[in-house]
Amino acid sequence: MLIRRALVLPGGGDWRARRADILIRDGRIAAVGDGLEDPEVIQGSSLLAVPGFINAHYHSPLSLLRGTADGLSHPAFMWQNQADTAGRSAHEVYVSALLGGVEMLASGTTAAIDHFPEQGFALEHVDAVARAYRELGMRAAVALRVFDEAYDDIVPPGGLPAGFPDPLKPAPLADTMALVEEAVKRHDGGLLRVFPAPSNPSRCSDALLVACEELARRRHLGVHTHLLETEVQTRIARSRYGTTMVKHMDRLGLLSPRLSCAHTIWIDEDDIGLLAKRGATAVHNPESNLKVGAGFMPLPAMRRRGLRVALGTDGASTNDNLVLHEAMRLAVILHRPNEERSSWARAEDALDMATAGGAAALQCAGSLGRIAPGQSADIVLYDLTGARWTPCNDAAQQLVFAENGDSVRTVLVAGRVVVDGGRVVSVDVDALLREARGMLAGIRSRNGALQRAVKALL
């Protein structure tokens, strides 16, 4: 395939737009230049070509839950999510993953780290989410959310009421790791990766954290986790370990380029420097952080200390969209009122976070995030004929500050067209939407006892 004479933003730190042909062969970019030839041509004169964005923190089970969490604190929204996600069938898992994937692909996101699911799970649920990503043709890491200790950070003072139908009862460590190992064997490879993903280090024993790191090192996987999303999690770490959570994780050997940490809000400069030194990635989720009042990730300090940052949307119950354009825009303007103008993050920084930062978290730093020979052909083409692109004064700035994903016309993942004419072509979207519309009501009816218990708790 040849994309002819598109306006290209190459990425990899180079966000100066220029006209070029892009030649794709065997799922990779073979050449970028002038006068290239191929019989299959996309005429790109009115299109902007951009490396596909990577959503580095997302929860597919929450794709059915838009409009369910406004005004809720972090603990309250966590319990409401439990009431809305517990006990799902494999088919419901599959539909929810398809629904989120359709929105991401249609708005220019070609890859995601899916921190999945919300409770304990069976292998059939992993099979279901893996099937969804394969049918979408989307690149993803299914980051299996494991824990073997209590969710102390969301338990109310005095503990849960007697008889509370708690869906967060942990499985034994050996059973948990056997399940993760089997899922890796069954599904890891190609466009789909499977990562061990502690729910939050304070919800995991040291043995589980070490087992996750050992598996990732042995199988060349990433490790994904929530880290210090709320202030109470810092107090738990100090009380339990006598040090910060980051330093405790370092003592266990978890800090490495394999590690990506979502939220990373309640963290000091020393720990930021330690994460940077070890090559880890922080994942900024600005919209969800603000919606539940969790706090402000210290992006300016992270940039000063050289910590790599990726971007995420988080789940659809705390956002309520999966459009990475909005996360890019908010990430770079959020701290400007309190920073010297010379140190402001700019559009190019947002684009680096959404591409190179996400590629590192996905363990694809050498093959994703740029339009250049040898890179995987994960490319998004935007229509430049609309109002928000007229005139096209600075493509990088307008992509971050003007665009919202509506101008996406074509999306390629590994050279395969998965969005054409602005519509996902790899699944029957109309049928999916029809089925998804009534699904939450059915889940809530089935989970009636848990719904009532959670409402009483809140």
Q: 232 in helix, strand or coil?
A: helix
Question: Closest by alpha carbon to 6, among 37, 33, 46, 38?
Answer: 46
Report the C-alpha gap between 250 and 88 in whole angstroms: 36
DSSP readout, 176-200?
A: HHHHHHHHHHHH-BTTEEEEEEES-
- Neighbouring CB atoms inside 10 A of 1's CB total 18
| Residue pLDDT, tens place only, 208-242 | 999 999 999 999 999 999 999 999 999 999 999 99
pLDDT tens-place string over residues 419-443: 999 999 999 999 999 999 999 999 9
396-424: average pLDDT: 98
Copy the structure tokens of residue 65.
């839950």
What's the pLDDT score for residue 457?
A: 86
Could you tell me which residues are beta bridge partners of residue 413?
Answer: 416
For the entire predicted model, the pTM comes to: 0.98
DSSP letters, 245-310, are HHHHHHHHT--STTEEEEE--S--HHHHHHHHHHT-EEEE-HHHHHHTT-----HHHHHHHT-EEE
Beta bridge partners of 152: none
**Mean predicted confidence (pLDDT) in 311-333:** 97
**DSSP notation for 348-360:** HHHHHIIIIIHHH
Owner of token pair 């394999």: 258
- Domain 53-361: which topology? TIM Barrel (3.20.20)
Predicted local confidence at residue 6, as pLDDT:
98
Give the whole-angstrom CA distance, residue 440 versus residue 443. 5
Residue 118 has pLDDT above 90, yes or no: no
Band of residue 319 on the pLDDT scale cut at 50, 70, 90:
very high
Q: What is the mean pLDDT of residues 269-275?
A: 98
- Interval 4-32: pLDDT, tens: 999 999 999 999 999 999 999 999 999 99
Sequence ranges of the domains in the chain: 2-51+376-424, 53-361
pLDDT tens across 126-171, in order?
Answer: 999 999 999 999 999 999 999 999 999 999 888 899 989 999 999 9
Phi, psi dihedrals of residue 382, rounded to the nearest 5°: -105, 140
Residues 310 and 358: beta-carbon distance below 8 Å = yes
The CA-CA-CA angle for residues 298, 212, 287, to 5°, reads 30
Would you state the pLDDT for residue 273? 98
Q: How far is CA 448 from the centre of its chain?
A: 30
CA Rg, the chain, in Å? 21
pLDDT at 458 over 90: no
Provide the pLDDT for residue 158. 84
Contact 269, 242 (CB under 8 A): no
Contact 54, 356 (CB under 8 A): no
Residue pair 328/400 in contact by the 8 Å Cβ criterion: yes
Could you tell me the two tokens for 301?
Answer: 């300090």
The pLDDT tens digits for 341-353 are 999 999 999 999 9
Question: Which class is domain 2-51+376-424?
Answer: mainly beta
Query: How many angstroms separate the first and last alpha carbons of the chain?
Result: 55
- Say if residue 106's pLDDT is above 90: yes
Mean pLDDT computed over every residue of the chain = 97
